[in-house]
A and B are shown apart, each in its own frame.
Chain A
């Protein structure tokens, strides 16, 4: 269990509609990162929030927006959905792992939301 919770796990919706994906980061973690994984594509960075403020932006479409609330959970809003928006959407928290006496920084990911636009 990564400690990062994403809901819903699956979402099927029609073109033109709007959906909201939700993420609760690891307890106490101030950062939330959103990534999109389309078919045969890598993990595309969308946006990062830190303690309620937008910290970095990637290849996020104007139809997409996100926010992080005071309780640190985050929502990714996708509107005017198109068939090409069908993808896995992952949320991640920062993590520091100690292995072999070394500290490794990275992300811990939630299990993702699979969005299917029909």
Chain B
């Protein structure tokens, strides 16, 4: 039972354009959401997060949108750069806490083409 779903295994975007990565979740107890980025041969690294009391959070070129009623979140990257080519994992937790278990989606491979 996948509680966090990333239905697009891959996405190709032209450099300079907007990349939009989508994520759906099923567990209504999820209260905190995160995006991680992973390069080959490295561990995932934290990118951005959002708590359920917000519907948008920005950090530079990265913006996460949360639609609680639809149980959907998305990550926008604008403008997309070659270094953004990586696998992006959506993740969720039932608690905004350092001790809470995080559930990850299956990832979306983003390729930025010149």
Interface residues of chain A, those whose CB is within 8 Å of chain B, are 2, 4, 31, 33, 35, 40-45, 48, 50, 55-56, 58, 90, 92, 94-97, 99-100, 104-112
Contact = CB atoms under 8 A, between A and B. Distances in A.
A33 B104 CA distance: 13
Contacts of A90: 43-44
A111 B99 contact: no
B34 interface: yes
Contacts of B106: 40-42
Contacts of A109: 43-45
B102 A45 contact: yes
The interface residues of chain A, by DSSP majority, are classed as: strand
A56 B95 CA distance: 14
B104 A104 contact: no
Which of A33, A97, A109 counts the most B-chain CB atoms under 10 A from its CB?
A109
A104 to B, nearest CB: 5
B103 A45 contact: yes
Interface in B11-69: 32, 34, 36, 41-46, 48-49, 59
A106 B99 contact: no
B104 A56 contact: no
Given A106-B102, A108-B46, A112-B43, A40 B89 contact: no
Contacts of B91: 43, 106
